[in-house]
Amino acid sequence: MNDLSNYRKSYEKSELLESNIPEDPINLFNRWFHETEDFGGSEEVNAMTVSTIGLDGFPKARVVLLKKFTEEGFIFYTNYNSEKGQAIANNPRVCLSFFWHSMERQVIIKGTIQKIEESQSDNYFQSRPDGSKLGAIVSNQSEVVPSRAYLEENLSQLEKDYENMVIPRPKHWGGYLVVPVEVEFWQGRPNRLHDRIRYKAQEDYSWKIERLSP
Ligand SMILES: Cc1cc2nc3c(=O)[nH]c(=O)nc-3n(C[C@H](O)[C@H](O)[C@H](O)COP(=O)(O)O)c2cc1C
């Protein structure tokens, strides 16, 4: 039996008050991201969960790495033919979430998703180590493979094929931009009275800020 009912933690590290937040959620995200980098120890700050609605109607969540964020939104890289790629092609509404446990913080982003410019994917692809480039070529991400040996043999073959050559980005591998429509910031507080502040995009491009009950 694994009874976890005594796992209990009091959250006391910080607070999130209307008097101390920017008008734009990207600015607040930026502040929290860098605070986690500075004070969060070895945490993989840019690891985030991407949730999609699959072709089978089920939601699916998996971790990917955030590679860039700007006023426009949040960029990550993956295989466009993967299970998530197919889900996105069918339904471009996704959710990103971050759990920065060292800071007792969570951020949840609902948004619409689109492929980034091919030239931007090319640039990022070329910045990666050769091993990662070849890995992206070898992996038909999310497809069933006969064995690990099958992947390793294909990788060795590619290493020979591309020796001393520029490794081109496969067309089915590239970046996605998530444009936020709603961003919720959660700060753990004592007695379960956590702070929750939600930014909702308005038609005039401003953000509506509301506090949610914990
Ligand atoms: C820490 C971490 C980082 C990851 N980063 C990425 C990434 O940037 N891109 C990616 O495609 N998969 C990444 N993955 C693997 C994904 O979680 C997932 O297994 C893969 O994208 C296939 O998902 P899908 O079959 O649902 O499409 C990462 C996994 C972990 C645990």
Ligand 1, pocket-test mutation among 55, 78, 100, most atoms within 8 A of CB: 78
Residue 75 — pLDDT band, cuts 50, 70, 90? very high
pTM of the model: 0.96
Q: How many other CB atoms are there within 10 angstroms of residue 197's CB atom?
A: 19
pLDDT score at 8 = 85
Kindly state if the Cβ of 55 falls inside 6 Å of ligand 1: no
Q: How far apart are CA 214 and CA 197, in angstroms?
A: 10
Q: What is the pLDDT of residues 107-156, one digit of tens each?
A: 999 999 999 999 999 999 999 999 999 999 999 999 999 999 999 999 99
Establish whether 192 is a catalytic residue: yes
How long, in residues, is the chain? 214
Question: Distance from the CA of 50 to the center of ligand 1, in angstroms?
Answer: 9
**Alpha carbon distance 13, 98 (integer Å):** 17
